[in-house]
Structure 1
Amino acid sequence: MLRQLITFQIGEQYLGVDIMAIREIRAWTPTTLLPHSPAFLRGVVNLRGTVLPVIDLSARLGWGLAEPTQRHVIIVVQIASQLNGLIVDAVNDIVSIDGASLQPPPELGADASIRFLEGLVPVEDRMVMILSLDRLAAEMASAPLPEAA
């Protein structure tokens, strides 16, 4: 079965997400910080009257906080009934993959970047990590809040 993905980059890493979860891709907009939110939640933006939480995907995957610039973009995805924005460095292509070519991530323990993956797939000369939005959302709901100072 063929699936269509949007591929994007965080640093030198290539990731993909099912195209049906994408609602829009928008230019970087500075966020409004929320008190006592997890470090990966960079704040919220106004999306045509809706408060949109913006997730630093690099931080959520354990790769460190992004330093967003005007070159960054926010991919607006729908997870269940909730819209979320994901900060990424760049959006690349729409690709079609054969579901049979999707390989499970290797068992490496509880590494943050692995547990959010549905799998890996070769695209041209690189491996693309397919993000599991459901797992990302489930983990966000249970993320610990920072300690009060």
Structure 2
Amino acid sequence: MAVTAEKSADLAQKVARCASDRDLTVAVAESLTSGLLVSALGAAENASEWLRGGVVAYATAVKHKVLAVSPGPVVSARCAEEMAAGVAAQLDADVAVATTGVGGPDSEEGREPGTVYIGWWVGGRAGSRLYNFDGAPEAVLDDTVAAALTELLRAMYAADRRGS
């Protein structure tokens, strides 16, 4: 996929407009992306009005303790969904997105580098999507940020349709 910083910045601006237009608050839980996602959102227009904040839970123990992720593999759809639900609850947000996966260069939990799960939470419902990215760790992180912003937009539009 190999995206540029400009693409992520454009997506973050779309999130900002959507959040402002729909009066939604946003929270982020990150593992793989180590703060890159919330940083992209924080640079978007009027972030202080709609961005509740983020939790960087790189260590598995932090995922469990802070975000209430249940024991088990952390490179999983379940973990991504629980991270999103956990950060939404912790930060009192309408919509949340989470990233977990393997940036590389080595495998983790039997998963190949580039295996990424993006989770979201909106209106009491969680979901996730599996991505498989190619490239060096930096490219995987960039692609993950763009994918997470895209999934966040989808979740925000879903919240609007449900009246959340």
Does TM, normalized by the shorter one, top 0.5? no
Larger Rg over CA atoms: 1
Q: TM (normalized to structure 1)?
A: 0.30
User: TM-score if structure 2 supplies the norm length?
Assistant: 0.28
User: Which structure shows the higher helix fraction?
Assistant: 2
The structure whose residues are more often strand, as a share, is 1
